[in-house]
Amino acid sequence: MYKNDGRIFADIHDLWWENEALPSLSSFELSRRGLMAGTAAAATLPTVADAASPAPSDPAHTAKVAVEVNGKPEQLVLDTRTTLLDALREHLHLTGTKKGCDHGQCGACTVIVDGRRINSCLTLAVMHQGAKVTTIEGLGTPDHLHPMQAAFVKHDGYQCGYCTPGQICSAVAVLGEIEAGIPSHVTEDLTGPIRATNMEMRERMSGNICRCGAYSNIAEAMAEVAGEKA
């Protein structure tokens, strides 16, 4: 009920920024990400980076990795413990990818690596030398939404939005998996063609949990992009 409604931003603006002049809030230039970063800094709270990624000190526990993220080559020197998720969020500051359970159970951290969707929380960044990573930031931009992003907006495929980047990355990959003929638990004929039915999409999206329960709308968004009736 809050999304696409300027009031929530205006309310938070009043609360946190009342002594500062901010230009054109009504045009949504202040993103939630910017707001969170700004408020954390303003309140001199420790940043998430301090907690999630201890500075690499011991060379024996540090490794280099080169990855391409959303088309951009990146060179990182990381504590070997750094998951791909933490590398994306805390080192490359791509905070679209979300940390939910951090144990591969919720799917909020889903990104696409070398064309495959994976849980970025359950893999080490250093294991991805030379990999091509696509995050939600690489799928589309606010001005040029990926068709799946546009379909999620159109079909109300979210409420709070926290699981949404993972849902969208997963949804994009799911349609690719169906097109590639990869079977699922509900595929009746293992040797025949696979259609993007509602049941197929529900089964294949079971690794992405949505606490708000937007599942049926997510399936409708996927059906629209797949060109099938949900």
Partner 1 sequence: MRAFSYERATSAKEAAAKAAATPGAKFIAGGTNLLDLMKIEVETPTHLIDVNGLGFDRIEPTGDGGLRIGALVRNTDLAADTRVRRDYALLSRALVAGASGQLRNKATTAGNLLQRTRCPYFYDTNQPCNKRHPGSGCAAIGGFSRGLGVVGVSDACIATHPSDMAVAMRALDAAVETVKADGSTRAIPIAQLHTLPGATPHIETSLEKGEVITAVTLPKPIGGTHIYHKVRDRASYAFALVSVGAVVHKDGSGRVAVGGIAPKPWRVESAEAEMPQGAKAVAAGLLAGAAPTRENAFKLTLVERTLGAVIAQARS
Binding region for partner 1 (CB under 8 A): 58, 60-61, 63, 79-81, 83, 102-104, 107, 110, 116-119, 122-124, 126-127, 129, 170, 173-174, 177, 180-185, 187, 190-191, 202-208
For partner 1, the closer of residues 63 and 139 by Cβ is: 63
**How far apart are the C-alpha atoms of 8 and 4, rounded to whole Å?**
9
For partner 1, the closer of residues 30 and 219 by Cβ is: 219
For partner 1, the closer of residues 79 and 224 by Cβ is: 79
Q: Which helix (H) or strand (E) holds 136?
A: helix 136-139
For partner 1, the closer of residues 123 and 149 by Cβ is: 123
In the complex, minimum distance from the CB of residue 175 to partner 1, in angstroms, rounded to a whole number: 12
Give the list of residues 6+ apart from residue 204 with CB closer than 8 angstroms, or none.
Answer: 174, 177, 178, 184
In the complex, minimum distance from the CB of residue 44 to partner 1, in angstroms, rounded to a whole number: 28
Give the list of residues 6+ apart from residue 24 with CB closer than 8 angstroms, or none.
Answer: none
In the complex, minimum distance from the CB of residue 75 to partner 1, in angstroms, rounded to a whole number: 17
In the complex, minimum distance from the CB of residue 134 to partner 1, in angstroms, rounded to a whole number: 14
Taken in order 10, 16, 21, 27, is the CA torsion positive or negative?
negative
CA distances from residue 226 to 65, 107, 184 in whole angstroms, order as listed: 36, 21, 17
